[in-house]
Structure 1
Amino acid sequence: MPEQLATSPYDALLLLSFGGPEGPDDVVPFLENVTRGRGIPKERLKEVGKHYFLFGGVSPINEQNRALLDALRKDFAEHAVDLPVYWGNRNWAPYLTDTLREMVADGRRRIAVLATSAYASYSGCRQYRENLADALATLADEGLAVPRVDKLRHYFNHPGFVRPMVDGVLASLADLPEDVRAGAHLAFTTHSIPDAAADTSGPVEAHGEGGAYVAQHLDVARLIADAVREETGVEHPWELVYQSRSGAPHIPWLEPDICDHLETLHGAGVPAVVMAPIGFVSDHMEVLYDLDTEATAKAAELGLPVRRSATVGADPRFAAAVRDLLLERAATERGRAVERCSLGALGPSHDLCPVGCCPARAPRPAAAGADSPYA
């Protein structure tokens, strides 16, 4: 195999995602998995699950992961990258621990991991690492071989992630009525998280107001807005806003909420809005409900024309970006100097999450980092 296509030392890639229900009977058990340990009553979970029941109890995330798996395997085959790709979820089948058992049975011992979360935060990075550590501990308890897992770096500013979103915003602008298009506002959205979690996101040196989580999203939003200006000749005002808040109302979370933002823009006389969900890899439930249903209904109530741009999903350019990240990390692990592809002001992210990166409220073991119990 040519050096530039060598995947050694890795013998597999694991696509690690959140998971979602695939039928009405799955909704409450899925939410019990997500909220395990918080003592939330079943009746409350049924209320929380109403978003899923509106869509027949089916989250689109699993089907979208199947599409991404197909795209990755197709890209690898077309570029002579000989590496099997597996899939495991944190909260629903196929469960992460079951997938790791399968991988061990198949002889996989050095695994690269792609998480379907592009940014730094506890819920978007460290919690995945904690789940990996839990699964590896289970394998050890069962007397199975414990593979080494390496999580690929954050890819929020990789061209293969950014460029499809640029095209999505351009397509949404083009779909607006011509008389409101030039004055359209760009609302870049991501999942709201508690202020405290945002402030401690990323390495310790990145901690502060909003931490790495906000800084990374702002960098991506600026990249997309600049690209739109360059390609259309129009300077569209933009802002980073938030969606999908959950949790106790007395705890401060990142704001403004997208629906509140739409009201503010309407009051200011903005003629149209493109909602761009840059914080999400695919069109899963938060996008379908919070943007396509709730925010779109709010815009209709206001008489404000809106469009929602596409997420990256299984775009071939994203699959190519994953291949690039894999080969880059493999070469680094072999001691090669590699050029790390990134856009914007922040540069490429770290390979190994340092100690103190995106800390949990209660410390737990986390794999694939400098503090991993599994070297």
Structure 2
Amino acid sequence: MDYSAFDAVLLLSFGGPEGPEQVRPFLENVTRGRNIPPERLDDVAEHYLHFGGVSPINRINRALIDQIRVELGTRGVDLPVYFGNRNWQPFVEDTVATMRDNGIRRAAVFATSAWSGYSSCTQYVEDIARAREAAGPDAPELVKLRPYFDHPLFVEIFADTVTAAAAELPGDARLIFTAHSVPVAADQRCGPRLYSRQVAYAASLVAAAAGYDDYDLAWQSRSGPPQVPWLEPDVGDHVSTLTAAGTKAVIVCPIGFVADHIEVVWDLDEELRSQTDAAGVALARASTPNADPRFARLAVDLIDELRDDAAPARVTGPDRVPGCAASINGEPCRPPHCVAQGTGD
């Protein structure tokens, strides 16, 4: 495939409600086919309603798109940037149809997930394939950019936010990285523990960059039935263990997320903070990339890798990079593996 030119960029994300009346339909979209009990949806809906029924994610993504446009302009590249979501407006199917009608023929797709694995990578490829199929034979070619968990700017941003959070606390605060938990079986779906190994690898890179030799990795936001094994320890349980051992201050870095959306601001800023306040433990939560201009630079860097057929920029650690099962010799996934032309392969 000729990657020498793109005529658009598509930012592809998860989506979120932007009003109270949208919360329940959004959650039904997210959980369709998963047999989630209605009472569980009611519980999660309360998290959104606590913030007026508005998720921060669309606002953050629109700000990031503005930054991507600026970064493209600084490089002398004139490309329109489109926005599509899996679970809420603007739906990716509608966006790709608009791109088709606008005459777009080939677009680079930047997904708001840094990882390989099914939910964080393959499902976005499926989203692209579904949207192209809905758009018909004139749908644009869409090329998903590679996972970027070890990109220098990803590591730099999180190292800076850890340092900023640490400045709020005593010097002996314990550093804890968190990411979204998934079922243990799902962590095997695209290669042995692919997602969890990538999270652990990225945490080691960020910890080193921020000057930490010792830290912990925990998981958050689990939503499955208790009889199904998920990645552990849960961050709340882990903080309880640390508290019992005498820890008085913790820095929590949600390295698994690229935006301060509901699963960050509710699970960490509300629930975990309530727990630490009750236990007399000081908590500082590191920010995520959000619309940091460096995150926009990262996105455009990934496009340039394809345009220039350049080697991926990445920070290397002492361990082997946990690469996608579709890659070669354990190297991180990159084209032609991360593509979507309607097949979902």
Asked if residue 194 in structure 1 is aligned to residue 166 in structure 2, the reply is no
1:271 CA displacement: 2.5
Q: 1:44 to 1:223 in 2, by over 3 A?
A: closer
The 5-angstrom pairing of residues 146-165 of structure 1 reads: 146-165=139-158
**In 2, Cα distance between the equivalents of 1:68 and 1:186?**
27
The aligned counterpart of 2:264 is: 287
Describe the shift of the 1:372–1:92 C-alpha distance in structure 2 as closer, same or farther (beyond 3 A).
closer
Percent of pairs with identical residues = 47
Kindly indicate whether the alpha-carbon contact (under 8 Å) linking 2:176 and 2:217 is maintained by their aligned counterparts in 1. Answer: yes
Q: 1:353 to 1:57 in 2, by over 3 A?
A: farther
Residue in 2 aligned with 1:340?
A: 312
Contact 1:186 1:236 in 2 (8 A): no
Q: Is the 8 A contact 1:329 1:351 kept in 2?
A: no
Deviations 1:4-28 (A, max 9, x none): xxx8421111000000000100001
How far apart in 1 are the matches of 2:182 and 2:112?
17
Residue 267 (structure 1) shift? 1.1
1:168 aligned to 2:161?
yes
TM-score (norm 2): 0.91
Which of 368, 371, 374 is the matching residue for 2:339? 368
Say whether 1:219 aligns with 2:201: yes
Cα distance between partner residues in 1 of 2:277 and 2:142: 47
Task: Tell me, in whole angstroms, the C-alpha distance in 2 between the residues paired with 1:114 and 1:123.
Answer: 15
Mapped partners of 1:250, 1:353: distance in 2: 39
* 1:121 maps to 2:117: yes
How many residue pairs get matched? 333
Moved more, 108-117 or 41-50: 41-50
Q: Deviations over 1:143-173 (max 9, x none)?
A: x502211100001111111111101010111
Contact 1:185 1:236 in 2 (8 A): no
| Alpha-carbon contact 1:151-1:351 (below 8 Å) kept | no
Q: Bigger CA drift: 344-353 or 214-223?
A: 344-353
SS at match of 1:248: coil
CA shift digits 1:216-261 (9 cap, x unpaired): 11111111211222xxxxx463111000000111110000111101
Instruction: Point out where structure 2 has 5 or more consecutive residues left out of the alignment.
Output: 322-330
1:309-364, Cα deviation, whole Å (9 max, x unpaired): 010111111111111100111223xxxxx23210023456222475xxxxxxxxxx
* Corresponding residue for residue 204 of structure 1: none
**Matches of 1:173 and 1:302, distance apart in 2:** 19
Give the letter aligned to residue 82 of structure 1: D
Query: Could you tell me how far apart the structure 2 residues matched to 1:39 and 1:228 are?
Result: 42
Per the alignment, in what secondary structure is the counterpart of residue 195 of structure 1? coil
Question: Aligned runs of 1:42-61 on 2, under 5 Å?
Answer: 42=38, 44-61=40-57
**Structure 2 counterpart of 1:227, which letter?**
A
Counterpart position of 1:257: 234
Q: 1:266 and 1:287 mapped to 2: Cα distance?
A: 21
What's the TM-score once normalised by structure 1's chain length? 0.84
- Report what 1:276 is aligned to: 253
Q: Which of 207, 210, 215 lines up with 1:238 in the alignment?
A: 215
